Chains A and B, each alone.
Chain A
Amino acid sequence: MTITVPQTNKQPSEKLQPTGWLRYLSFSLDHKVIGIQYLICGFIFYLIGGALASAIRIELTSPVSDFMARDVYNQVLTLHGTIMIFLWIVPVVNGAFGNYLIPFYVGARDMAFPRLNAVAFWLIPPAGLMLITSYFINGAAQSGWTAYPPLSITTPAAGQIIWIISVLLLGGSSIFGGINFIVTILKLRRPGLQLMQLPMYCWAMLGTSILVVLSTPVLAGTLILLSFDIVAHTGFFNPALGGNVIVYQHLFWFYSHPAVYIMVLPAFGLVSEILPVHCRKPLFGYTTMVYSIMAIVVLGLVVWAHHMFTSGTPPWMRLFFTIATSFIAVPTGIKFFNWVATLWGGRISLNSAVLFSCGFIINFVLGGITGIALAQVPFDIHVHDTYFVVAHFHYVVYGGSVFVIFSSIYHWYPKFTGKMLNENLGRFHFLITFIGFNLCFGPQHWLGMNGMPRRVAEYDPQFTFVNQLSSVGALLMALSTLPFLWNIFQSALKGPIAGDNPWQGLTPEWLTSSPPPVENWKGEAPLVSKPYGYGVNKEESTMESVDDAQGDNNS
């Protein structure tokens, strides 16, 4: 008698979900679908935020306010900042790559709480749409992404309230995501997989999620109080009613400084995954990497008042926050040297992913140096609220996180789609992005040092030429999206087949088909205890001396 082997054992989750492209519009519980949803949704908002940035740069080509009305300029500026931070970088470096990769890295079939995961994603599109439509209804918020009172209390209320609600939704989404990552990394590891064997991105996401869980709720509480001030006319942050604006600033930065690490720590992790694969060497200094991530998490929670050096901060507080902020340079520097050492002597393939990662290293060092400069009170008093700050944070946020997002897309696109991207087009994309970026934000250091204030549509005519230079850079950045988009769509349709493991990677996501099946592996999850065991076979033994620092990670 023949007992037919049961056909492919479809999981209930698979049966209930639509297949094909439709599943990206569904309430899918598959972590890979959710990851791609985050990525595409984030990219759409990036295009919108980029259009707003272009509007800002067009306005700033002339010293007078001629392209748009002043209050429209404020709205555009506020929307640009909020969209780029809360709807592009945070959801993509955390939600998109985190959801796609973390279950692979811990050897699980999905995240710990798939339903919560889907809810977290689906909070984002309505929040973003609400934020953008507020512009067309009664005018969007005008008080910048920081929403400092009393400005946020005195500008038109409707836009500000919608801004608060959408940031609260996005914060909630972020907290749900953070809980999910912490539990997945700590509890869902495949039996036998030690914490110190995890790929670095897991550590980065663990650190980031701790920051998310500890700091985002404080922002939420603060915004609730702010909304009371606007709607019910309480006076928490309204000096006219006996309130205190400085308390808002403290609470806001208690979230928003960690938020800069929420944007950049995952990027650190992604670079640490990409570099070893493409230069065929183990990640240099695994253990020190882990400890520096954790050091950044701890220090990141106690440096917030470096944003408030001109807010009447008492001297002892200035001293403390200058020292604490300067200390962050140590773990950050360790990571920088580790990446350089990983590249050193490696067989580097200069493809688009590596170029963007190297671009990240260069830009981030520049942004880190200006950050340290800003942490010194005497200098900061001079340049606070000038274009120098704008230059600083774009070097770390765009030059850092956004470069890494592009690097990651070039690296994992074959896994996501099963197709290869066009490398020459990718290198071209890198070249104009890198030139455009530095042309746009480099000169802003000079503008700030010479006294051009940020967030205003008009400036002293002596700054005209340098502003125009910066706008040319912005134009290049805008244009750089075109080859990228072309590449993405063209390759999805006609790109060469990638195969399971086009880069010969050793981390678990490469040990399954491209794109991977539902539940990630056909059989058992593989046990990958040496995710960076590159270059240990004979031909590559020249790297042995460097590998020593990797400790037990090489055989």
Chain B
Amino acid sequence: MTTLAPTEQSSEKQITHKSEHGDYRLLGLITFLVADGMTFAGFFAAYLTFKAANPLLPDAIYELELPLPTLNTFLLLVSSATFHRAGQALKLDKTKLCRRWLLLTASLGIAFLVSQMVEYFTLPFGLTDNLYASTFYALTGFHGLHVTLGAIMILIVWWQARSPDGRVTSKNNFPLEAAELYWHFVDGIWVILFIILYLL
């Protein structure tokens, strides 16, 4: 029996190392999101400075329609709410319900991406047509990339939560919380982007 002791001990030691400190992964994620947010801040600052300093060249075409992006805003805001519901369901150990909300959230994200694509293909200007066209595609494209990654993350969490003793449970809900925080962040960025790019 004594031969088992070392492994037992070392695994115990491992655990104490981890639990000596609370969960610090969240702070890591928040720091990362601050950094990510600064990338967007740089883009926004660039766009606003362009707007103040560089008038649209006379023959350039740059017009945006509001309906589709408004729908997009709506989709993302609702998806934030559904993600929140998924988190609540997981806390109550209602894994099935949680997974349903997750799937709904991912679908809303994918709907956003589709609608964004539709907008891209119906706009009267392309990436290199003029300064504003380029800025528009760069900003929405960079944000769309974030939505894509977020949707993939949600589907991964959805997959990991498939069995009640799986990797995402009410006790180990960090993957879900992380994805949720990220998703809210991406939605928040969209709201700012919507105001700056479409409304101002």
Measuring CB to CB, which residues of chain A are less than 8 angstroms from any residue of chain B?
Answer: 3-4, 6-7, 9-12, 109, 112-113, 175, 178-180, 182-183, 186-188, 191, 213-218, 220-222, 224-225, 228, 232-236, 241-244, 246-247, 250-251, 254
Beyond contacts A9-B9, A221-B43, A241-B130: 5 other A-B pairs, Cβ-Cβ < 8 A, are A10-B10, A179-B28, A183-B24, A236-B138, A247-B50
| Closest Cβ neighbor of B53 among chain A residues | A244
Nearest-Cβ distance from residue A109 to partner chain B, whole angstroms: 6
List residues of chain A with CB within 8 A of the CB of B45. 250-251
CB distance from B49 to the nearest CB of A (A): 5
> A244 is contacted by which of B24, B32, B39, B49 (Cβ under 8 Å)?
B49
User: When the two chains form their complex, are residues A6 and B6 in contact, meaning their CB atoms are under 8 A apart?
Assistant: yes
Q: Does A232 lie within 8 Å of B27, measured CB to CB? A: no
A242 pairs with B27, CB closer than 8 A: no
Q: Complex Cα distance A182/B134, Å?
A: 36
- Contact (Cβ within 8 A) A112 B43: no
**Quick check: B131 and A214 within 8 Å, CB to CB?**
no
A217 vs B43: C-alpha distance when bound (angstroms): 10
For residue A213, which residues in chain B have a CB less than 8 angstroms away from its CB?
A: 31, 34-35, 38
Looking at the assembled complex, report how far the CB atom of A356 sits from the nearest CB atom of chain B, in whole angstroms. Answer: 33
Closest to B4 in A: A6
Give the top 7 A-B pairs by smallest Cβ distance, nearest first. Answer: A187-B24, A218-B42, A6-B6, A234-B134, A217-B39, A217-B38, A221-B42
Query: Nearest chain B CB to A347's CB is how many angstroms away?
Result: 39
Question: For residue A180, which residues in chain B have a CB less than 8 angstroms away from its CB?
Answer: 28
- The answer for the CA separation of A220 and B142 in the assembled complex, in Å, is 12
The smallest beta-carbon distance between A321 and chain B, in angstroms, is: 16
Q: Is the CB of A188 within 8 A of B24?
A: yes
Known: A215-B38, A242-B57. A179 touches B131 (CB 8 A): no
Tell me which residues across on chain A come within 8 A of B34, comparing CB atoms.
213-214
B10 CB to nearest A CB, Å:
5
A9 in contact with B13 (CB, 8 Å): yes
Of B15-23, B160-168, B184-192, the one touching chain A = B15-23
Chain B residues whose CB sits within 8 angstroms of the CB of A3 once the complex forms: 2, 5
State in angstroms the CA–CA spacing of A112 and B27 once bound together: 10
A235 touching B131, Cβ below 8 Å: yes
Q: In the complex where A242-B54, A244-B49, A251-B45 touch, is A228 in contact with B134 (Cβ < 8 A)?
A: yes
Determine which of A12, A232, A250 lies in contact with B128 in the assembled complex, contact meaning CB atoms within 8 Å. Answer: A232
CA distance A236 to B42 in the complex (A): 13
B119-151, CB under 8 A of A: which get 1 and which 0? Answer: 000000001101100110010001000000000
Q: How far does the alpha carbon of A8 sit from the alpha carbon of B77 in the complex, in Å?
A: 55
Whole-angstrom distance between the alpha carbons of A234 and B139 in the complex? Answer: 14
- Distance of A287 from chain B, by nearest CB (Å): 25
Determine whether the beta carbon of B10 is less than 8 Å from that of A234: no
CB neighbours (8 Å) of A233 from chain B are 128
Contact B46 A247 (CB under 8 A): yes
On chain B, the residues within 8 Å of A228 by CB distance are 134, 138
Q: Which residue of A lies closest to B5 (CB)?
A: A6
Task: Tell me the bound Cα distance from A234 to B36 in angstroms.
Answer: 23
The answer to whether B46 and A232 touch across the interface, beta carbons within 8 angstroms, is: no
Closest residue to A109 on the B side, CB-wise?
B17
Among residues of A, the one whose C-beta sits closest to the C-beta of B55 is A242
Collect the chain A residues with CB atoms within 8 Å of residue B196's CB. none
Contact status A191-B31, CB under 8 Å:
no
Assembled-state Cα–Cα distance A200/B56 (Å): 52
| Alpha-carbon distance A348/B40, docked complex (angstroms) | 50
Across the two chains, which residue of chain B brings its CB closest to A213? B35
A9 and B40 CA atoms in complex are apart in Å by 47
A278 to B115, CA, bound (A): 66
Kindly identify which residue among A182, A221, A234, A243 contacts B127, using a CB–CB cutoff of 8 Å: A234
Tell whether, in the assembled complex, residue A6 and residue B9 are in contact, meaning their CB atoms are under 8 Å apart.
yes
Cβ-neighbour of B21 out of A4, A182, A187, A234 (below 8 A):
A187
Tell me, yes or no, whether B114 is within 8 Å of chain A by CB.
no
Please tell me if B92 contacts chain A, counting CB pairs below 8 Å.
no
In the complex, what residue of chain B is closest to A222 when comparing beta carbons? Answer: B42
CB of B128 within 8 A of CB of A234, answer: yes
A235 to B28 CA separation, bound complex (whole angstroms): 36
CB distance from A226 to the nearest CB of B (A): 11
Once the chains are docked, how many angstroms separate the CA of A11 from the CA of B35?
Answer: 33
Q: Given A9-B13, A12-B10, A236-B46, is A242 in contact with B36 using a C-beta cutoff of 8 Å?
A: no
Q: Select one of B28, B36, B54, B60 contacting A243, CB under 8 A.
A: B54
Residues of B within 8 A of A6 (CB): 5-6, 9
B residues near A175, Cβ cutoff 8 Å: 32, 35
Report Cα–Cα, A109/B40, bound state, in Å.
35
State in angstroms the CA–CA spacing of A12 and B9 once bound together. 12
Given contacts A225-B138, A247-B46, contact A182 B31 (CB under 8 A): yes
* Structural contact, B10 and A9, CB atoms closer than 8 A: yes
Supposing A187-B27, A235-B128 touch, asked if A214 and B38 sit within 8 A by C-beta, the answer is yes
Q: How far is the CB of A251 from chain B (nearest CB, A)?
A: 6
| In contact, A220 and B2 (Cβ under 8 angstroms) | no
